[in-house]
A and B are shown apart, each in its own frame.
Chain A
Amino acid sequence: MGKEKVKVIISKVGLDGHDRGAKVVATLLKEAGMEVVYLGMYQTAEGIVKAAVDEDADVIGLSYLSGEHLVFTPKIVEEMERVGLDDVLFIVGGSFPPEDIPAMKEMGVDEVFRGGSLTESIVQYIRKNVRKQG
């Protein structure tokens, strides 16, 4: 029994004030038929995960453009583990050195989309990997 609609949290975290990318991705996912809860900027890891719990979200998508990706990623993963969101996809997008990607995946990010990724690839990845509820 799958859910009727895929629900995605799109957010930024910390003091990074570049929200264009997050807004673009939010719009694309809306146009792909998903329900996108847009949290905007200056969120905390705890706040984002709590929103995912309340919204029964299937995906958390984070956008980084200020070099904070290695700081906040483990905090999000830790918080997701603490509240038991083990069936929620955690994807990350934005601008960061490609050599940091293995470290981010090691920390627990499910997939990474750097600037220049095809929009279709994000949509397809989510559709293919989103949880199937039993």
Chain B
Amino acid sequence: MVRKLLEGDRRAAARAITLVEDQVDVSTQLMKLVYPHARKSMVVGVTGSGGSGKSSLINHLIRLFRQQSRRVGVVAVDPSSPFSGGALLGDRIRFQAHSMDEGVYIRSMGSRGYLGGLARSTSDVVRIMEAMGNDVVIVETLGAGQDEVDIIHVAQTCLLVLTPNMGDDIQAMKAGIMEIADIIVLNKADLDGANFCLRSLETAIHYGMADREGGWVPKVIPTIAAAPRSEELKGIDDLVRTIDAHQDYLRKSRAIDEVQAKRVEQELGLVFKDEVQKFIFRGLKGTGKKRQYIRAILEGKTDPYSVVEEVLGTFLKV
């Protein structure tokens, strides 16, 4: 399966992604084989609130990247229901123009209860898409609020999509999602209030981030990503040029090394957490100890912190 995946076979890739998404045991083996082949792609993250136009913008990004004959992979995350566990994955509907293009591979994912704007396995899925031979991988977060910023650990270039009238200049000055953008896209720029919003954003950048020494100063690009006639679209070419400019900056300044290192650090942390937990629970399985611990905590004899300390003490003693 991995060999076919590396040749770009979409069914093999699709099956591999399912295994990784379901976190079945073989997925660890799979990722070991995929990982060495996954280092070359440009990874672009797109985040912003639900309805801001992320998918519609990505639709045009795909179009322009394809005009340059670049192969494109898209991972689009939508929220899973906390009640049923189901999900309505509705990003693909915006990518219909590319539904027959063999050079585009799109995968929708439910967040499956994972916080941060992505799914637990999104980072692995991006690795698989890189290994498939995609030149560009675009990662779309679910509709993110102020603090769903995991995308910075996955993407090299981060786009934050905003629309006019979402708040005043104080909103633009806040921490969290406003800070992670390399490029801020002000979509629906034909709406009233767009000019005021543009000025607020540029001012916030000017006071907050423009003094990064030799660094990249976030750019604001006004766009119109959906319009009845294609000549009414706006800012898309500019956006692609700015993405490429940011990538150039990362490579020339060697800042890309730091971005890659951060990504690996994040992956390492996640894998560690999962594997240690799996290892310990596997060790406790069948001993009845987990239930004993829970009862002891409920009876007030101990607490979760002491239990974990004790369990780790026994398991990790060499």
A binds B: yes
**A-side interface residues toward B, CB under 8 Å?**
1, 3-5, 26-27, 29-40, 42-44, 46-48, 50-51, 53-56, 83-84
Within the assembled complex, what's the spacing in Å between the Cα atoms of A51 and B112? Answer: 21
Within the assembled complex, what's the spacing in Å between the Cα atoms of A43 and B11? Answer: 21
Cross-chain contact of A54 among B22, B81, B87, B105 (Cβ < 8 A) = B105
Contact B92 A37 (CB under 8 A): yes
Contact A35 B14 (CB under 8 A): no
A-B contact pairs, 6 of them (CB 8 A): A32-B84, A35-B89, A38-B90, A44-B99, A56-B14, A56-B17
Within the assembled complex, what's the spacing in Å between the Cα atoms of A4 and B119? Answer: 14
Q: Which residue of B lies closest to A58 (CB)?
A: B18
Residues of the A chain whose Cβ atoms lie less than 8 Å from the Cβ of B24? 1
Cross-chain contact of A26 among B23, B84, B88 (Cβ < 8 A) = B88
Cβ-closest 9 pairs across A and B: A47-B99, A56-B14, A30-B86, A4-B22, A40-B93, A33-B84, A56-B18, A33-B86, A33-B85
Q: Specify which of B17, B89, B100 lies most central, judged by the most chain A CB atoms within 10 Å of its CB.
A: B89
Contact A32 B86 (CB under 8 A): yes
Contact B18 A51 (CB under 8 A): no
Is residue B96 within 8 Å, beta carbon to beta carbon, of the partner chain? yes
Residues of the A chain whose Cβ atoms lie less than 8 Å from the Cβ of B93? 38-40
Contact B96 A36 (CB under 8 A): no
Is residue B219 within 8 Å, beta carbon to beta carbon, of the partner chain? no
Cross-chain contact of A30 among B14, B81, B105, B106 (Cβ < 8 A) = B81
Residues of the A chain whose Cβ atoms lie less than 8 Å from the Cβ of B10? 53-54
**B-side interface residues toward A, CB under 8 Å?**
10-11, 14-15, 17-18, 21-24, 80-81, 83-90, 92-93, 96, 99-100, 105-108, 110, 112
Q: Assess A36 versus B86: contact at CB under 8 Å? Given A51-B92, A54-B105.
A: yes
Q: Assess A47 versus B86: contact at CB under 8 Å? Given A4-B22, A30-B81, A55-B108.
A: no
Measured CB to CB, the closest approach of chain B to A128, in angstroms, equals 18
Contact B92 A3 (CB under 8 A): no
Within the assembled complex, what's the spacing in Å between the Cα atoms of A40 and B93? Answer: 6
Contact A43 B96 (CB under 8 A): yes
Measured CB to CB, the closest approach of chain B to A37, in angstroms, equals 5
Q: Assess A54 versus B14: contact at CB under 8 Å? Given A35-B87, A36-B87.
A: yes
Within the assembled complex, what's the spacing in Å between the Cα atoms of A27 and B88? Answer: 7
Residues of the A chain whose Cβ atoms lie less than 8 Å from the Cβ of B106? 51, 54
Contact B108 A53 (CB under 8 A): no
Contact A47 B89 (CB under 8 A): no
Residues of the A chain whose Cβ atoms lie less than 8 Å from the Cβ of B87? 30, 35-36
Residues of the A chain whose Cβ atoms lie less than 8 Å from the Cβ of B89? 35-38
Contact A4 B21 (CB under 8 A): yes
Q: Which residue of A lies closest to B101 (CB)?
A: A50
Residues of the A chain whose Cβ atoms lie less than 8 Å from the Cβ of B96? 39-40, 42-43, 47
Residues of the A chain whose Cβ atoms lie less than 8 Å from the Cβ of B107? 54-55
Cross-chain contact of B100 among A26, A33, A38, A46 (Cβ < 8 A) = A46
Residues of the B chain whose Cβ atoms lie less than 8 Å from the Cβ of A54? 10, 14, 105-107
Within the assembled complex, what's the spacing in Å between the Cα atoms of A116 and B272? Answer: 51
Within the assembled complex, what's the spacing in Å between the Cα atoms of A65 and B9? Answer: 35
Measured CB to CB, the closest approach of chain B to A111, in angstroms, equals 20
Q: Specify which of B14, B80, B99, B100 lies most central, judged by the most chain A CB atoms within 10 Å of its CB.
A: B99
Cross-chain contact of A84 among B11, B14, B100 (Cβ < 8 A) = B11
Contact B86 A31 (CB under 8 A): yes
Q: Specify which of A5, A44, A48, A83 lies most central, judged by the most chain B CB atoms within 10 Å of its CB.
A: A5
Measured CB to CB, the closest approach of chain A to B177, in angstroms, equals 26
Within the assembled complex, what's the spacing in Å between the Cα atoms of A54 and B14? Answer: 5
Contact A5 B14 (CB under 8 A): no
Within the assembled complex, what's the spacing in Å between the Cα atoms of A43 and B100? Answer: 10
Residues of the A chain whose Cβ atoms lie less than 8 Å from the Cβ of B86? 5, 29-36
Residues of the B chain whose Cβ atoms lie less than 8 Å from the Cβ of A44? 99-100
